[in-house]
Structure 1
Amino acid sequence: MTIRDRGKIKWNAASFIPQVFEMQRDMFKDQERQPKTLLSEFDTEEFDMRIAYAMEYNLAVKLTVWTDGFKEELKGRVHNVDSITHQLRVEVKPGEIERIAFNDVIGVYVID
């Protein structure tokens, strides 16, 4: 009795499974997105004062940054405030500086 098998052809239907997993991962990630919180003038002035205080006394800050629907926390020292390009330059590690737009900052806390 011989077995009549389709060989490799029977596995062609399973070739799309990694793409399905990727699509599901993207779908679940999109469901976790949050709208950007609206800040009042009082909040932005408070953030400005906290950043100025941290820069004056060389203290570390914890920034809550909104990027593409997700909140991220960033710790470091504010190196410079660029009012022309509306960006903060934060030194995360010695020698490593990240630029953050003013509009993306939704929380500032002085750590030290």
Structure 2
Amino acid sequence: MIKDRGKIKWIASFILPEMVASYSRIDWDNKKVEKPILDEHQLEEINQTICSAMEYNEELIFTLYYNGGFQLLIGKVHFVDPLTSELSITDYFEDIHKVRFEDIINVCKNNE
């Protein structure tokens, strides 16, 4: 006797691509986090670390808030633009990244 799954084998064929996309979007939305609010002490510490690293041409590790998640960026601060509130950061591959001040969550020195 042949053992068949019956109707169960046809269920997967009725899932529409739109349903799959919506399920993955819902799952991704659940992984988002809110941006942490920094106090004055943390902002001053970040500012001092950036100024010190610019003076001695040191690499920094930036933790950035982007689109509901966190990203790491390792590089040297090339230029600080107070008018647009942006940093120009040069990474290991000599690419320049523009980072807004309000996106910076944490900064620490890269001790190699």
The structure that has the greater radius of gyration is 1
**Aligned letter for 1:88?**
L
**Aligned letter for 1:47?**
I
- CA RMSD after TM alignment: 1.9
Give me the identity figure in percent: 28
Provide TM-score, normalisation by structure 1: 0.82
Structure 2 Cα separation of the partners of residues 22 and 93 of structure 1: 36
Unaligned runs of 5+ in 2: 1-12
Query: Deviations along 1:77-110, whole A, 9 cap, x unmatched?
Result: 1111110100011002343101000001000011
* Most deviating of 65-74 and 86-95: 86-95
Unaligned runs of 5+ in 1: 1-13
Which residue of structure 2 lines up, in the alignment, with residue 68 of structure 1? 67
Q: SS state of the match for residue 85, structure 1?
A: coil
Distance 1:99 1:15, change over 3 A: farther
Which residue of structure 2 lines up, in the alignment, with residue 43 of structure 1? 42
Which residue of structure 1 lines up, in the alignment, with residue 3 of structure 2? none
Provide TM-score, normalisation by structure 2: 0.82
> What is the aligned residue count?
101
Q: Displaced runs of 4+ in structure 1, greater than 4 A?
A: none
